[in-house]
Every structure is written in structure tokens, then in C-alpha cells.
A and B are shown apart, each in its own frame.
Chain A
Amino acid sequence: MDRCPLSHQGSLQGRDETPVINFNIAAWRAWAPGLDSVADWQAWSQQPSVPAASDAAPDVSFLPAMQRRRLSRMARMAFSVGWPLAQGHEGLPLVFASRHGETPRTFDILSDLAADQPLSPTQFSLSVHNAVIGLWSIMRGETSEMTALAAAGDGLEHGLIEACALLNEGAPAVLLIITEEQPPQAYARWIDDVPFPYAVGLLLTPGKQWQVSLTSAATATGSAKAPWPHALNLLRHLHDGQASFQHVWNNRVWNWQHSL
């Protein structure tokens, strides 16, 4: 049993000074409007497209009504992918990554402020970036380490580094949730990397099935950007069996290797 593989390479340091992390993806779940089951995502992976705009939110009826009533769609997406992955795991650390967070809530709050209206305490308390992991902790009675990240377009990879650090410390498994909500129209000019709302959950365990290394691109803005947000692009590669691929964000080139 290869319980703590990162230590073989001296934490995050690879042999040639290229940071390398390795891990196994024991299970995954994903949700987007109209895309829920494994079969849905298999079909999407073969022919990726933007699903029709929708206010649909995933079913979280496994939560008591009094607990789920305040959950935004983003929180519902995170819970719907994370909850089944966490079943049966005691003390499961969680890494939550979202670049833009609860933009509908923050936009509502800012609109109230602009109109000189008092702010909703609920909106305010749940607009912060770690609100989802706080709710997760309360609803599951989970007291393991939890981290909320807002990285750039490569939040998937930054989240994986964080998760691998936790695996390296001895966690038998780590849950990584990447989610983005469709931003309000007012932000459309600035936020162009959320083609549709989605959440991806990965149950990560120690292992070497996946290796990710980071190198620098010569140019500041990679012209070879991934065609989809990194977490969705990973879903495609979970299905197509490709042994290696790259995710480029700014000058950061993430080299993915998959050995079966």
C-alpha cells in the first residue's frame, strides 16, 4: 500500500526542480444543468457543448429542509457532487475551489448598497468564500481541515496541490470540489471563463495513477488555453483515456499524465 507517495519525491519537489504531485482519483461526480449522471457526462465528453441556460439546481433533498433552505445553487451544486463522495469516509478533509464564488449573492448585496437599502444578513453571511465549507462542516458534523481557495483559471490544479499536501500529511483521502456559478449579466464583460454553472467533485487518494507537473510557458498568456474550464476538461479526459494533456493558464503549464 503506497500510503504517502508524495514523500518519495520530497514533498512537492520533483527531481528536476519541476514541482510534481501525484494522486489517484478514486471517484468523481459532476453536475451542470441537464448533466448529472455518469452517462450524461460520458456523452458530454464525447461531444462537449454548452447546455441550454437554466435556473435548474441539483436535488439536495438528502439534507433536512431547514438546513437546505438557505443554500444557493452554487452551494447545492457543491453538496450534490460532494455528499455521495463523502459517504463512508470519517474525517474527510475538503478543499473547495471557486474562482468567482457567490457572484449572484454579492451582486444582490452590492445592488442593495447602491440603492441605500439595508443588507440581508443571510445574503451577507453566506456570500463569503468559505461559506460553503462552513455549511458543509455544520451539516456533516465534520471537523477535518477544510480550505476554500479562489485561484485563477487553474483553481483545479491549485486545489490539487492543496489536496496532495493533505494526503502527504497522512489523510487517507481528500475531497476536492471545484464549482462555478453563472455570474450575473452585469459581470459578463469581465468574467468570460464560466460557460455554464458546474460543479466537479473528486475523491482523491494517495497513488500514482495521476501525475501533474508545473512548468512555465515562455509567453505570458498561453495561446493554447484549454477549450473548457480545467475541471470540465479533466472530465473529458477521464473518459477519453488520453495518457497526457496540458492545461495552460497565463504562463503556467500544467502537464497531466495518466498511467493506468
Chain B
Amino acid sequence: MSDLKSDIKQLIIDALGLEDISISDIGDEQTLFGEGLGLDSVDALELGLAIQKTYGIKIDADAKDTRNHFSNVASLAAFVTAKQAA
């Protein structure tokens, strides 16, 4: 699980071109969008695509809880783990 979190952090950095940020700069519980890391709506789409490609899972953009899954790295890791187990 902790490896998965690191992987997701690296994915965020690579997919979104965060050249000045390293894995250690992103907290597990740090808010990704708006406040916190300061990502925007285009980032949300790009990150969703990267997660789907990397982990071979489907994300329903219209599902109510999708927003919650994307709130921080910990919630994303839990979401990916649950989806892969399903």
C-alpha cells in the first residue's frame, strides 16, 4: 500500500509535468485539487486518464464518489486497490 502511494505520487508528477516537485513534497493526505497541491480541472482529467491506463481500471467520471476518490493520494490508493480487487 505504501509503495502504491509512492507510485501514485510519481504518476501525478509525471502525468501533470510537476517538474519542481518530488515524491516527498506530496503528503498522503494532502488535498490535490484547488487548495493543497493546487491542481485544476484539466489535471483531474489527465490524472484520471493516467490512473486508468496505468492500473487498467475504469473510472466513471459521473459517479458521485469519484470526486472523493481523487481528494488525496491515500484515497486514490484505496480506490485503486479496491478496483483492482473487484
Main SS at interface, chain A? helix
**Which of chain B's residues have a CB closer than 8 A to the CB of A121?**
42, 45-46, 49
**Is B16 part of the contact surface with A, judged by Cβ < 8 Å?**
yes
Docked-complex contact A125 and B18, CB < 8 angstroms? no
* Category for how many chain A residues contact B: under 10
Name A38-83 residues within 8 Å CB distance of B.
65-66, 69-70
Tally chain B residues at the interface, Cβ within 8 Å.
12
**Cα distance A118–B15 in the bound complex, in angstroms:** 14
Bound together, the chains give a CA A118 to CA B52 distance in angstroms of: 10
Whether the pair A69, B49 counts as a contact (CB closer than 8 A) is no
Contact A69 B17 (CB under 8 A): yes
Query: Whole-angstrom distance from the CB of A112 to the nearest CB of chain B?
Result: 10
Output the nearest chain B residue to A119 by Cβ-Cβ distance. B49
Interface of B is mostly: helix
Tell me how many residue pairs across A and B have CB atoms closer than 8 Å: 24
Query: Does B60 reach chain A (CB closer than 8 Å)?
Result: no
A125 touches B42 (CB 8 A): yes
Nearest CB in chain B to that of A118: its residue: B49
Cα distance A62–B19 when bound, in Å? 15
Partner of A69, one of B16, B45, B52, B53: B16
Residues from chain A with Cβ under 8 Å of B45 in the complex: 121-122
Identify which of A69, A118, A120, A122 contacts B18 (C-beta below 8 A): A69
A211 to chain B, nearest CB (A): 44
Whether B46 and A120, one on each chain, are in contact in the complex, defined by CB atoms closer than 8 angstroms, is yes
| Across-interface contacts of A66 in B (CB, < 8 A) | 18, 38
A167 to B18 CA separation, bound complex (whole angstroms): 40
Expressed in whole angstroms, the Cα–Cα distance for A65 and B17 within the complex equals 10
Residues in B27-61 with C-beta less than 8 Å from chain A: 38, 42, 45-46, 49, 52-53
* Most-contacted residue by chain A among B19, B46, B52 (CB, 10 A): B46
Knowing A118-B53, A121-B49 touch, does A65 contact B20 (C-beta < 8 A)? yes
Q: Give Cα distance in the complex from A159 to B38, angstroms.
A: 36
Please report B residues at the A interface, Cβ cutoff 8 Å.
16-20, 38, 42, 45-46, 49, 52-53
Question: 10 closest pairs, A vs B, by CB?
Answer: A121-B45, A69-B17, A65-B20, A122-B46, A121-B46, A118-B49, A121-B42, A122-B42, A66-B38, A69-B19
